Amino acid sequence: MSLVNLLAEGKVSPAVDIYEVYKSLFKGEKPEKIYEPYCDPRLFFQLTFVTDGFKQYLGDFLSKLASGESEVYVMPALLGAGKSHFLAFVLHILRLYRDCRGAGECVEKALEELGVKLKVPSLEKVPEVLVFHGEHNVDLKPLDFSSKDTLKASLKPPVVLIFDETQHFEAKIRDFPLLMQMLAEAVEERRGVFLFVSFSLFSGERPDLAAPKSLDAVRRVHYVTVSLDVTRNIVEVFRRWAGLSGARSVELAGLKGIVTDERLREFENRLRGSYPFNPYLLDAVLQLADESLVEKTRVQLTRGLLRILASAYVNRRGELVIFADLPEPKEVVIAGDVFAGQLNVILRLYEDDARKVSGSIAALSVLRHILLATFFARLLPHRRMYPTEEELILGSYDPARVKPLDVKMFLEDAARQGLHIEKVNGRYMYWFIGGIEEKVRDAMYRFGDDDGLEVATDEVASLARERAGPFSSVVIAGVGGTKALGKVKVVSSRDEWEKELKDQDKAILAIDLLNFGVPVKRNNLIVVRRYDEGEPPQTTLELLKRVGEGPRTVREAVVDLGRLVKGVDEVYANLIDYFPELLEEEMEDILRRELEQLIRGRLENLKSRAKAYLRESVGLWLRRGVVGFKDVEKRGFDELVGELVKDKRDRLRGVVKEIFTGDLINWDSFKKVGDLWSLFLNNESFPAIPASFEEFLEALREYCKGCNCLFEEDGEVKWLGENGCVMPELDKDVGVAPFMYKKRVTEWAVEGFLKQYGSSAKRRVYIVYRKPSGPEARATPEELLSKQNEWIYLEGGRLEIEEVQKGISVSVDGVETVSVERPRGATILVEVESSYDLKSIEYTLNGVKKVFDVKGKRHAFNVKVPGEPGRYVLKVRAVFADDTFDERDVAIIVRGKCKRKITVLSVSVGEEIVGLKADTAQDGEILLRYFRDRGVPFKATVSTEYSYGDEEMIVNVRKKVNSPDDADKLLKILKAIQALTPNAEVTFEFMEPQKVDEDMEKRFRGLKVVFSVEREEEC
């Protein structure tokens, strides 16, 4: 039995169950019999017509997958639109990639063997696939939704996540919309992760067209909407099921002389694309599946079409499928709430007529044709929807069963048989009430341009509310007075407009419908402006022509659509004034109510379409803007705004990074956070980003975490604390500076921090820090002030404060301090005090040591400052009467130009280095071999600590290397260390400074190395 027969008899489901396909392809489980054609690759590709839409979205997905990007694909559509079939298509392709180990040519060859020609890229790594189906799964394992970070960690790229029938999860899983928002954000932030989310906008016989909350949640990030074209290609899809290779020749001689030659040629051409279905029958079935009629039919787009077409195809007894082969109208048409009375009457009239013509294929086909046309005309009112005699002849034509003469005779005899069809102005219908568009056109004359713009303003506000998520506020200059709802505010005066746009701490989307202009420019202000001269959409033109309007520009179309909405509301509110025939005494009350219901339903439908077209036209109208400091023009509002909010957080982090690492700021002092914010807002070199001040602070905190910045608050430098890094509550008045700038420590900032933390007689302050290898180091701020080469390791350190029972205080020239600056050769007075009796005082400075015997609790002495610029430490040791002691350091800074060693993270060709240090044993070995082979003499130090259980090993080797043998001895030590631990500190001190050449610079790349260079600069 063919697939199409199985489909018609219900033995094969017209709906694809993605979970069954997933389990079959990726878990090896046997599917249910009704889903077998979708799980078998040969059968699946045999019945799958790869539409242009399939190719477009598959190509977009595979190209991003191959390049390591990430994306969210959203598929909101009515039940049966082809969503699951597309997802099954994606699963089959991914399975082929798995079989081909990612080779694109292999996949293409496999597809060609299955009858499909596609060009696909190769994948470096085949992604993992996870499928969640709202009607099968009850949880979201293995995804970890404890937090966004744990969720991101559970997404192991590359991975493809597929959610089908997602709306069902909302009733199963608590807070499911919030979880989907978290998942969408995690996918956006993690490369190599892809999310397909499919929603059926209704899942039962009665429609529910409200969007699921989880759909709105996913749409809060950047996403791609997958709009499928399966329904438009339904004939090609059906031919796959039926095993038809294409159209066959159909005898049309019987139509010659009955219909015009032009109409016959048109019919013949259309038949090639619709075979084996009569083109008029196919038109009607496609209209049954139109989304605009979804509430009134039982057809579920693709799957419903296939079921109806399969049933009609199996029922046919001739060459072509005609209206007589369709299921009974009551099986495909729902008499909806608004139209229930009228449509039920029409269905009853049809059933009465069908009984009267029982046995006549031609009569039954014509009646069904007229019935469906009348049904469509009730929902989409237009005179041409009712068929003419010529169209009825062509619509029922099947050379094997229905001849043109059969139709003509039936129509001529219809009145005699008492049938309920009527001919009005050359067209046939089951029921007629017209003139609605004419009445709306009359009502539109009551309203001017400002009335139309007021409706347009409301529609723009509605559109803006949907796009307002990334912005602090949305300001619209529009008609209708001042009003606000949530983030969106409408203003009607220039003063209000300019006032709202002044708040620079907000990310503002401003939409200028009144041409008030751009009073100020900054990088977080987006002003969307009108493009009045654009062409209106074709659908809008067609609708407005039906009510007598012919706009030439998109602005005129927007105004006219607004007036149309006003006109519909006017007619709806005063129905009797516009349709006085409803008051005719001879009309029955039930018929009067049915007619009134029908008219109101048509008005609601007209208004709904007018508002939909208004939104489309507004999107084209608002295509220009001032984005930060640049004038831009896009294809529409969504593209204009969408590009700005994509990767917003990453781009803002990039701005903050540029501020701290680029050349815009001379980091010679702390800069106020408010000044950095102003720099971003007003510098044209930065990109426009809809960011608020709070979001800027968040990006700044992100950059500065891990002690990457020092802060100044109320004159105090904040950086390290007893628990690690210290970051104050940030506001515009807090100063900030980077710890590293241009790969060098920001020394003035670190020095300012160290000078705050001198010890006293009662306490001792230490900074604990760790070098890349080896144990923690511990030094006082006074010591570190003279050891600038150590500052590079302080990032991530912490303070330790010890209270002392017996201590000394040290003052220089009467001031207790951690450091002093003095000119060369100056004499300073040092005073040592304690609350305990002293026995002796010893001091050391620049290699000079002196000892004084002391009696009492205080002693003063003079010290001569060194004559060369530099940083020195005055070490003072006091011995108490009980032979205990205390020590204090004071940094002495002698300003002036001097050569000093500094530590840098990178060097360039031409620089001279006096030493370098590797942070791993492996990098040390690489450098040792390199300098050995170059014949460079040096002193090397190898140190490490290693412990295992109770065993502990400490290595500290210092060796002068003048020959390859010396180097080889050290290499043996490094090899032995690497057998136990990768951690080791290997220091090289060159006998003579080494000039970096291109070979040396190339060798240093990729190694964890810090360099010592000698530079003359201010000490």
DSSP secondary structure of 879-896: EETTS-EEEEEEEEEE-S
Torsion over CA: 375, 376, 380, 383 (sign): negative
**Quick one: pLDDT at residue 78?**
57
Return the DSSP state at 545: H
pLDDT, one tens digit per residue, over 526-570 is 999 999 988 899 999 989 998 888 888 999 999 999 999 999 999
pTM: 0.52
Q: Is omega for the bond preceding 142 within 30 degrees of 0, making it cis? A: yes
State how far the Cα of 174 lies from the Cα of 161, in Å rounded to an integer: 20
State how far the Cα of 345 lies from the Cα of 375, in Å rounded to an integer: 11
**CB neighbours of 796 closer than 8 A, spacing ≥ 6?**
706, 707, 724, 725, 769, 770
Burial of 599 (0-12, 13-18, 19+ CB in 10 A): buried
| Coil, strand or helix at 309 | helix
pLDDT, one tens digit per residue, over 460-487 is 999 999 888 899 999 999 998 899 888 9
How much is the average pLDDT of 613-641? 91
| Coil, strand or helix at 81 | coil
Tokens read off for 59: 């190509």
As a whole number of angstroms, the longest Cα–Cα distance in the chain is: 140
Number of Cβ within 10 Å of residue 175's Cβ equals: 11
**Quick one: pLDDT at residue 300?**
47
State how far the Cα of 434 lies from the Cα of 382, in Å rounded to an integer: 9
State how far the Cα of 937 lies from the Cα of 664, in Å rounded to an integer: 42
State how far the Cα of 834 lies from the Cα of 854, in Å rounded to an integer: 12
**Quick one: pLDDT at residue 950?**
75
Contact 680, 662 (CB under 8 A): no
Nearest to 904 by CA among 1010, 770, 776, 800: 1010
The Cα-based distances of 944 to 771, 968, 972 in angstroms read 11, 19, 15
pLDDT, one tens digit per residue, over 154-205 is 999 999 999 998 888 988 899 999 999 999 999 999 999 999 999 876 544 4
Residue 325 dihedral angles phi and psi, to the nearest 5°: -85, -10
Contact 220, 184 (CB under 8 A): yes
211 pLDDT band (50/70/90 cuts)?
A: low
pLDDT at 424 over 70: no
**Quick one: pLDDT at residue 523?**
94
State how far the Cα of 492 lies from the Cα of 704, in Å rounded to an integer: 43
State how far the Cα of 49 lies from the Cα of 240, in Å rounded to an integer: 7
Q: Please state the separation of Cα 756 from the chain's center in Å.
A: 46
| Coil, strand or helix at 522 | coil
Residue recorded with tokens 């430490």: 873
State how far the Cα of 1014 lies from the Cα of 364, in Å rounded to an integer: 101
- What does CATH list as the number for 3-228? 3.40.50
380 pLDDT band (50/70/90 cuts)?
A: low
Lowest mean pLDDT among 13-22, 181-190, 334-343, 912-921: 334-343
386 pLDDT band (50/70/90 cuts)?
A: confident
How much is the average pLDDT of 715-742? 93
What are residue 897's DSSP bridge partners? 1018
pLDDT at 587 over 60: no
301 pLDDT band (50/70/90 cuts)?
A: very low
CATH number among 2.130.10.30, 2.40.50.140, 3.30.1490.390, 2.60.40.10, domain 808-895:
2.60.40.10
SS (H, E, C) 808-837: EEEEECCEECCEEECCCCCEEEEEEEECCC
